[in-house]
Amino acid sequence: MQPAGMEPAGMEVAGMGRAGTEPTGMGMAAMEPAGLEPAGLGTEGIEPAGTGTAEMGIAGIEQAGTGTAGMGIVGIEPEGMGTAGMEPAGMVPPEMEPAREAEEPPGSPALPAEPAQDGPPAAVPPGQGALPAAPGREREQERGRRGADAQSSTGRAARGRARRASSRRSGGESARRAGVTVDSSKAKTSLEALKISLRQLRWKEFPLGRRLPCDIYWHGVSFHDNNIFSGQVNKFPGMTETVRKITLSRAMRTMQSLFPVEYDFYPQSWILPEELSLFVEEVRMMKDNDPSWKPTFIVKPDGGCQGDGIYLIKDPGDIRLMGSIQSRPAVVQEYICKPLLMDKLKFDIRLYVLLKSLEPLEIYIAKDGLSRFCTEPYQEPTLKNLHQVFMHLTNYSLNIHSGNFIHSDSVNTGSKRTFSSILCRLSSRGADVKKLWSDIISLVIRTIIALTPELKVYYQSDIPAGKPGPTCFQILGFDILLKKNLKPMLLEVNANPSMRIEHEQELSPGVFENVPSPVDEEVKVAVIRDTLRLVDPQKKKRKDTQCQSLEQAREGSQELPEAALPSLCLKQVFPKYASEFSYLRLVDRVAALFIRFLGVKGTTKLGPTGFRTFIRNCRLSNSNFSMAAADILYIDITRRWNSMGIEKESGNPGMCLQAFVEAFFFLARRKYKSLPLHEQVSALIECCECRLAALRRKRLVWGCGIAERQEALPGTGTAPGPGCTSPPQPRGHQAFRFQKSSQLKVLMCRDRTGS
């Protein structure tokens, strides 16, 4: 995890000085340079873990044939392998209309007025135009110059056309001309990449904020960085909490209990301290079953980042219980001992994923990412090398302190490279990179499906339906490790992946300078720019005004037409592949029930009355399960969850979503005994949804009945109630039809669920 503002370059990792003091939990051995072959110079590329033989072609890679439940997504093109299948951008819901210049929203943040910035669109520096992000400031400027030349030759003609067209234009065009406005005042360390992106798009930046609303707010840390009531913000409420190590592990475990095969890409994990004895017991049992199993575990403090406090152990008994474990919960996880190596080094992948919308779910994946390399040749963990941080941890923030770290001056060498360069290398050695890419897409979609229930709870709490608020999107950083057999494994999800495009370099001892990082710039600028293009609030408008000629539309806007920009680096994967993954969204439906019974807006926890209403309305109590038993279930589960780590911190005593999910699974198991868990849960969801729908219809009927009775009274002319919109019928007829259909539905529901 790498929150913005905690940038690796130059900062001191906990317990680790700049000049190579020992990182927390790791021994001094880690600091010894180990005669490393410079990354990128090796010719043999891929090496089997632990064999000690340097020579091995890609043919030696075992392909993870069964890794994703036998599912491959066809037609996905990795970077550099064509752009077929790119989705058209611009699925912007109507509520994302751009804010009007003149409107002053209620409660608009009281920033000082900045007339200069409210003037004409920000001047585009010469040449900061429609070119793909390229590494290095020099190249950027060079492209800028080229762009300026090209523009000047066509500029006169264009201006002429513009003058001629101006007489035809209506006043409405001035709004379109103003371009998309972006508040970058809270962008923090992503500012540089954001600025370049905005220049490329020719959008208007407000670096100090703006008194009037902006179309887009770019936050460096969280949704709450600003008070916003309109437009779009690049963070979802609750995302940071949702992807914390413990919360993510819990969400993944829930999904693993429902769909063990589909979710086998997340290493088996236990939460400390609450599951310490479970961890010890389960490992003992697994060792008893398979005496040849010699596992290693990695202990990661919750909320930690950049490798902070991480250590490896061979035996559950080695968990460090001293110190502040009680106050700092952690995740202990099976360590992946056989990672894919390149140039004998372990590396991981940082992939950028855009969650464009939660409801409906829209996910995009960047076609390129970063690969971060260790700086000491990898060996499978032994008691002797367990402490060698530069061998086992791929964190940039750690490895930059190694004498072997190589700053990359091209995208396919050094200690940080593009993922596409890795794919090319794998491909040239015969690996099935399309299968790998499709496995990665499955991993991403499945992970987001695991996260959405919790996110929806936070969302309704922060932006209650019907209240003014922004819509959200977010770029997430997925950290993925490839196993030797090319199976991708999820390590973690970052809510605030670093978007820095420069790094600190030590020019002479103790003298540091920020220098551009071409690899970072290439990948990150494209991700930010194309995220903006996808959420462009004016895109929909432009589509809506198709009656205007293309020429007119171009002339009317200061922005660059899509055609002048590079093809999108973000690829839509959901809803594109929804049909293959929607069956996994069971917990989402449980969360919808939870949210329905939350009652008071703005809360994330269910009170005892809400739980009782849920049981009663879904008619889940009977002679075998009384309302008193429901109360006890509520108390038991809620108390346990609230006594655990993170929930305790929130101070709110109600039942959190995860606790509700546990109660729901308990009820499902009880009701549908012989089925597999996911079928039990699915059956109970259907039963609840069906009974709630029947109840809703019944209430409508009651509403109609009242209306009709009122209508029947002399002198009242009340219209039919909601839902009773069909043409006038003989009195009582309509109500009867409603009643009949609801009874039928209830009976069908009973039939289906076997109750």
Contact 361, 576 (CB under 8 A): no
Compute the half-sphere exposure of residue 703: CA atoms within 13 Å on the CB side of its CA: 14
Restricted to residues 383-442, the positions that interact with ligand ADP (CB under 6 A) are 393-395
Least Å from the CB of residue 64 to ligand ADP: 16
Least Å from the CB of residue 543 to ligand ADP: 40
Query: Position 124: which residue type?
Result: V
Cβ proximity to ligand ADP: between 300 and 446 the closer is 300
Dist. CA 217–CA 535, nearest whole Å: 12
SS3 assignment, position 141: helix
Compute the half-sphere exposure of residue 739: CA atoms within 13 Å on the CB side of its CA: 9
Dist. CA 437–CA 412, nearest whole Å: 19
Quick one: which segment of 55-63, 108-116, 232-240, 305-313 binds ligand ADP (CB under 6 A)?
Answer: 305-313
Restricted to residues 186-225, the positions that interact with ligand ADP (CB under 6 A) are none
Query: Position 523: which residue type?
Result: V
Least Å from the CB of residue 365 to ligand ADP: 19
In the list 98, 179, 303, 307, the residue contacting ligand ADP (rule: CB under 6 A) is 307
Dist. CA 201–CA 530, nearest whole Å: 9
The two structure tokens encoding residue 535: 């959420």
Least Å from the CB of residue 247 to ligand ADP: 13
Cβ proximity to ligand ADP: between 179 and 477 the closer is 477
Quick one: which segment of 300-308, 363-371, 509-517, 660-668 binds ligand ADP (CB under 6 A)?
Answer: 300-308
Quick one: which segment of 201-209, 303-311, 431-439, 511-519 binds ligand ADP (CB under 6 A)?
Answer: 303-311
Dist. CA 97–CA 171, nearest whole Å: 18
Least Å from the CB of residue 398 to ligand ADP: 8
SS3 assignment, position 568: coil
Compute how many residues bind ligand ADP; rule: CB under 6 A: 21
The verdict on 300 binding ligand ADP (CB under 6 A) reads yes
The DSSP symbol for 63 reads P
Residues 6+ apart with CB under 8 A from 747: none
Alpha helices, H only, 306-432: 389-392, 396-399, 419-428
The verdict on 479 binding ligand ADP (CB under 6 A) reads yes
Least Å from the CB of residue 479 to ligand ADP: 5
Binding mask 615-654 for ligand ADP (x = CB under 6 A): ----------------------------------------
Torsion angle defined by CA atoms of residues 159, 160, 163 and 168, in that order, rounded to the nearest 10 degrees: -120
Alpha helices, H only, 323-394: 389-392
Cβ proximity to ligand ADP: between 480 and 724 the closer is 480
In the list 306, 415, 442, 572, the residue contacting ligand ADP (rule: CB under 6 A) is 306
CA distances from 311 to 297, 389, 512 (A): 8, 9, 29
The verdict on 249 binding ligand ADP (CB under 6 A) reads no
SS3 assignment, position 271: strand
Cβ proximity to ligand ADP: between 253 and 529 the closer is 253
Phi, psi of 402 (to 5 degrees): -85, 145
- Looking up tokens 């090398």 gives 385
The verdict on 310 binding ligand ADP (CB under 6 A) reads yes
Cβ proximity to ligand ADP: between 406 and 493 the closer is 493
Cβ proximity to ligand ADP: between 190 and 306 the closer is 306
The verdict on 302 binding ligand ADP (CB under 6 A) reads no
The verdict on 7 binding ligand ADP (CB under 6 A) reads no
Least Å from the CB of residue 415 to ligand ADP: 13
Least Å from the CB of residue 253 to ligand ADP: 15
Dist. CA 324–CA 302, nearest whole Å: 12
Phi, psi of 84 (to 5 degrees): -55, 145
Alpha helices, H only, 508-626: 518-535, 537-544, 550-556, 578-581, 586-598, 608-617
Cβ proximity to ligand ADP: between 394 and 517 the closer is 394
Nearest to 263 by CA among 438, 405, 442, 386: 442
The verdict on 303 binding ligand ADP (CB under 6 A) reads no
The verdict on 694 binding ligand ADP (CB under 6 A) reads no
The two structure tokens encoding residue 86: 């790119």
Cβ proximity to ligand ADP: between 1 and 570 the closer is 1
Least Å from the CB of residue 368 to ligand ADP: 19
Residues 6+ apart with CB under 8 A from 188: 4, 5, 220, 221
In the list 308, 368, 522, 559, the residue contacting ligand ADP (rule: CB under 6 A) is 308
Least Å from the CB of residue 440 to ligand ADP: 16
Cβ proximity to ligand ADP: between 181 and 269 the closer is 269
Least Å from the CB of residue 370 to ligand ADP: 12
Alpha helices, H only, 370-412: 389-392, 396-399
Cβ proximity to ligand ADP: between 162 and 383 the closer is 383
Least Å from the CB of residue 17 to ligand ADP: 18
As beta bridge partners, residue 512 has 506
The verdict on 305 binding ligand ADP (CB under 6 A) reads yes
Query: Position 318: which residue type?
Result: D
Alpha helices, H only, 189-335: 191-201, 239-242, 245-258, 276-289
Nearest to 407 by CA among 378, 375, 376, 377: 375
Cβ proximity to ligand ADP: between 342 and 393 the closer is 393
Restricted to residues 321-350, the positions that interact with ligand ADP (CB under 6 A) are 333, 335-336, 348
In the list 23, 304, 469, 537, the residue contacting ligand ADP (rule: CB under 6 A) is 304
Quick one: which segment of 254-262, 304-312, 545-553, 660-668 binds ligand ADP (CB under 6 A)?
Answer: 304-312
Least Å from the CB of residue 310 to ligand ADP: 6
In the list 262, 492, 521, 708, the residue contacting ligand ADP (rule: CB under 6 A) is 492
Contact 330, 301 (CB under 8 A): yes
Cβ proximity to ligand ADP: between 348 and 368 the closer is 348
Binding mask 103-122 for ligand ADP (x = CB under 6 A): --------------------
Nearest to 213 by CA among 180, 171, 190, 173: 180
The number of beta carbons lying within 10 Å of the beta carbon of residue 692 is 17
Number of helices (H), then strands (E), belonging to the chain: the values are 21, 20
Least Å from the CB of residue 672 to ligand ADP: 35
CA distances from 634 to 346, 653, 660, 685 (A): 46, 12, 8, 18
Cβ proximity to ligand ADP: between 348 and 559 the closer is 348
- Looking up tokens 């010890």 gives 280
The verdict on 267 binding ligand ADP (CB under 6 A) reads yes
- Give the binding site for ligand ADP (CB under 6 A): 1, 267, 298, 300, 304-308, 310, 333, 335-336, 348, 393-395, 479, 481, 491-492
